[in-house]
Chain A
């Protein structure tokens, strides 16, 4: 990242990502109008949100061209995030408790 042509190319990418994010926002709202069954609605909403989040993290936060150490930090964080998110579910679906 440094010279002007490189930045000019990046700026074009930012505009493209912006348009994509707006389109995906419309998709999110439009899909919610169909009143799909809850599990389908949740799956679609989370998939679209994950794509949007991935675009923001990859391009606006420059994760697509970041150093290895940042990937390690984030990899560990994501693992902990899913543990926090999913471990309580084990107790909820515990057959002994139920």
Chain B
């Protein structure tokens, strides 16, 4: 059975099903991270002492990761724009750069985590590190998820471009929405955990 409204807009919503689906998913993601942000807030205002993030965490590495994720958001949206211009070669270039940026982000996160573990700074060490590892760990899993989808669309999933280019463009737009959301979450995590 063919999935309806993958390209055409549904008359009642004015959107294709993929678009409304990804936005509903992102709404649930906002609540997931919202609950964790609320937990952070409660623990912080409820504690008698709270360390400044920059006394424990590596700000230059996190700043580099911020630059990487923001840049990857641009390459992601450029990949989508290339498909709109019917330029598949450019799409491949920008999509590959987006996936590569994901690897860069995770590589830096690996360095950060391993340094912490090396210094015996673990989630069980204190409340600050517990919420730091929870929030950045969950965010990291989202980065991996986004990379998997982007890599699929760059590799085997790209076959759809030949048979149904509009449907493929919509898929790239939807995976892009998820990737931008991952960037958006990091934009808040960075100052809250590392700088305050």
Contacts and interface: CB of A to CB of B under 8 A. Distances in A.
A57 interface: yes
A68 to B, nearest CB: 8
B96 interface: no
Q: Which of B23, B35, B59 has the most CB of A within 10 A?
A: B23
Contact of A56 (B15, B46, B180): B180
Interface of A: 1-2, 4, 7, 10-11, 14-15, 17-18, 21-22, 25, 28-29, 32, 38, 41-42, 45-46, 48-49, 52-53, 56-57, 60-61, 67-70, 73-74, 76-78, 80-81, 84-85, 88-89, 92
Given A73-B24, A81-B30, A67 B14 contact: yes
Contacts of B59: 29, 32
A21 B71 CA distance: 9
Given A61-B177, A69-B15, A28 B195 contact: yes
A73 B130 CA distance: 32
B35 A56 contact: no
A73 B24 CA distance: 7
A8 to B, nearest CB: 8
Interface in B13-70: 13-15, 19-20, 23-24, 27, 30-31, 34-35, 37-38, 41-42, 45-46, 54, 59, 63, 66-67, 70
